[in-house]
């Protein structure tokens, strides 16, 4: 039941964000757009919080990492940028491991490919992040 709520919140946020600001280079870039910044923070915090109450240790910590993504979204220093990237990586790896090693590896590779292709393919990281989050949510429960 919780997965349905998480997926609905995530889908609502993506649709809302695309409607108001369009597709951005990364999901985290919504932090900088006043029309969707609060929705981005709320969606990540609620989805992350729901991961923390699942009873699984890996999901609990994955949820905490996801909560950290919008906290460190403002790249005013190299440290906040590093914390942001570590939070995102921690979420993908731990939530993926909770679903199985192949989910962790595939979600990491999907996001890494999106990141590496972001200079050549518009919005590749954005779509890679969406795909990885959906894969994790489907296979984690």
User: pLDDT, tens digit, for every residue of 49-105?
Assistant: 999 998 789 999 999 999 988 876 666 677 877 888 888 889 999 999 998 998 989
Q: Sign (positive/negative) of CA torsion 24, 5, 97, 56?
A: positive
How far is the C-alpha of 78 from the C-alpha of 68, rounded, in Å? 16
- The HSE-up count of residue 104 (CA atoms within 13 Å, CB side) is 15
For residue 50, give Cα distances in angstroms to 18, 22, 41, 53, 76: 24, 27, 14, 6, 29
Q: Is 121 left (phi over 0), alpha (psi -120 to 50) or beta?
A: beta
User: pLDDT, tens digit, for every residue of 104-130?
Assistant: 899 989 999 998 998 888 889 999 999
For residue 76, give Cα distances in angstroms to 39, 83, 91: 21, 12, 22
For the chain, the distance separating the N- and C-terminal CA atoms, rounded to the nearest angstrom, is 10
The pLDDT, as a whole number, for residue 33 is 87
Where are the strands (E) in the chain, listed by range?
Answer: none
3-state percent breakdown (helix, strand, coil) of the chain, nearest 5 = 80, 0, 20
Sorted by where each begins, the domain ranges of the chain are 2-140
Within its chain, how far is the Cα of 115 from the centroid? 13
């Amino acid at each position: 039941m919780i997965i349905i709520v998480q997926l609905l919140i995530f889908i609502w946020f993506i649709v809302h964000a695309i409607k108001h600001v369009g597709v951005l280079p990364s999901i985290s870039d919504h932090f900088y757009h006043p029309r969707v910044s609060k929705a981005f923070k709320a969606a990540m915090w609620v989805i992350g919080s729901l991961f923390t109450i699942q009873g699984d240790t890996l999901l609990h910590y994955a949820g905490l990492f996801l909560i950290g993504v919008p906290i460190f979204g403002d790249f005013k220093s190299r440290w906040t940028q590093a914390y942001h990237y570590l939070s995102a990586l921690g979420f993908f790896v731990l939530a993926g491991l909770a679903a199985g090693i192949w989910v962790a590896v595939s979600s990491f590779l999907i996001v890494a490919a999106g990141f590496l292709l972001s200079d050549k393919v518009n919005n590749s990281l954005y779509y890679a992040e969406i795909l990885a989050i959906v894969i994790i949510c489907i296979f984690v429960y």
